Structure 1
């Protein structure tokens, strides 16, 4: 088992020598003679525990501890104060700053070894528990993502033979979000939320979904209901992924010029994720074969996007999408509905 690392911080050489003599047989020991050096060492190579003198010139041990606890890199490291200050108020101040223990001077070797060993054991247990929680959380998140994807594909299977539409459009949505310079968390969330955009089609009659010709006004009114149905299926949950999924499901048929549905929102009143998903959805729908239409060529689809710039779609989204078109084409090839078409397109590319 790898030895734990102890950082000893004291401005007095004699005190450092004593602590190193006590700890070196059992741990890797690093030393710092002032608070500034201690902060540098802790951030560059975080130790497993820090023994910290309180009274030091330049920057006190209390200030060092405060800065350690404010830095995400070092905030979890246990800090034990080594000090001659034994007043209750002094100890209270140290604990309020985040220290885990106090050792009073003059130093007792037995106490130092016992306190360090005890805090390291607690720290190891804490890290092990955190790892277990992270692993379980990741497992639950992956399960949730898979459920969401499968619900999205379940809706697509009702009017699409392969269900790969939701895979392609979610990739397009993430690529577009990345091209816009949006935070990585947003890009990841929209990738996992987009597959739910048409989940409300589960409640749309097959006769309408699979009708080969144009829908009449009554049928079109029924078709439009899928956005509210989708929002109801997802529900109003505080989870960020489900919140974004709901906004996309409800608003991905809004239009930049306000002529869309269900709320007739326009411009930036339409949630950004819904604007992105709408463009990704339309492009893939145009370039895919459906029961009521042939698959358009990429050139034809791009032409429509340009014509709808400022009408159906936000202009900057159209411009950004055209910039990532080579990446979009790779996704379209990789997740083509028809393997023979994929092979044919590969030969052409």
Structure 2
């Protein structure tokens, strides 16, 4: 099950979390640091780093909301620092603004290519600096909020999908002795088999969800046949053998890859390698691999 409360709490926490933003100033010259600190400290919590390695350590441990980064520094220049920030999934969302006297098109192009969002040119002016910092913090916060909303909506959609799969699976096994736990254990085994065959992560997830729906077609078989306390007559058995087709017709109404696979599984899960199965008497590799995994 998907913990939707986690996403709701994360969004609520995000909405209430920011009193003062943290801005990291990275420059190897103390005078430049002092100028920027003087401009920013009334509105922001200012962190300071005098070289690239220290900056990356502070970013990893304290997660500033924005980085003001000098380009020309010894050992590790600003472009290298920015590139490292953007390559790390834990920090790539942090906006980086370069502080530089380098104003050529080539310099700006290189900065944007490594992930900077803006440039502030030296000599630094308070009005420009505060405006750029405020604008990019606002954009970053909106972006983070949007990502949380997308994660929340995605989780809701996945929960709806799991619920739909569960209901279809239970509908098909309503009159059987198969329990929900057995059904999902079988799904787990199918996913393991698919993974061992080198299937993609999405394909493995699809077979995991498709497998429990393999008997959906039994919903169209009369209870007198499903619950018959005796061996079925030839006529009843012919009806029973239609449940893969019924299931495939129900599940095949969707164009979604998951339900297309589920229809394929439903239609083929009673076929046998030697051709003695039903409903189509398929042999060997004529049987879809998804159906072979579930069978």
TM range (shorter): 0.7 to 0.9
1:173 to 186, 190, 193: 186
**Residue in 1 that maps onto 2:105:** 88
RMSD after superposition: 3.4
**SS of alignment partner, residue 102 of structure 1:** strand
**Residue in 1 that maps onto 2:248:** 231
TM-score by length of 1: 0.65
8 Å Cα contact 1:247-1:274 kept in structure 2: no
**Residue in 1 that maps onto 2:44:** 27
Supply the distance in 1 between the matched residues of 2:63 and 2:202 (Cα, whole angstroms): 27
**Residue in 1 that maps onto 2:83:** 66
Supply the distance in 2 between the matched residues of 1:181 and 1:44 (Cα, whole angstroms): 39
**Residue in 1 that maps onto 2:29:** 12
CA displacement at 1:100 relative to structure 2: 1.1
**Residue in 1 that maps onto 2:168:** 151
Q: Is 1:108–2:121 an aligned residue pair?
A: no
Extract unaligned runs of 5+ from structure 1.
279-349
Aligned residues: 272
**Residue in 1 that maps onto 2:158:** 141
**SS of alignment partner, residue 165 of structure 1:** coil
**Residue in 2 that maps onto 1:249:** 266
Q: Is 1:203–2:220 an aligned residue pair?
A: yes
Q: Is 1:98–2:107 an aligned residue pair?
A: no
Matches within 5 A, 1:260-275: 260-261=277-278, 263-265=282-284, 270-271=289-290, 275=293
TM-score by length of 2: 0.76
**SS of alignment partner, residue 232 of structure 2:** coil
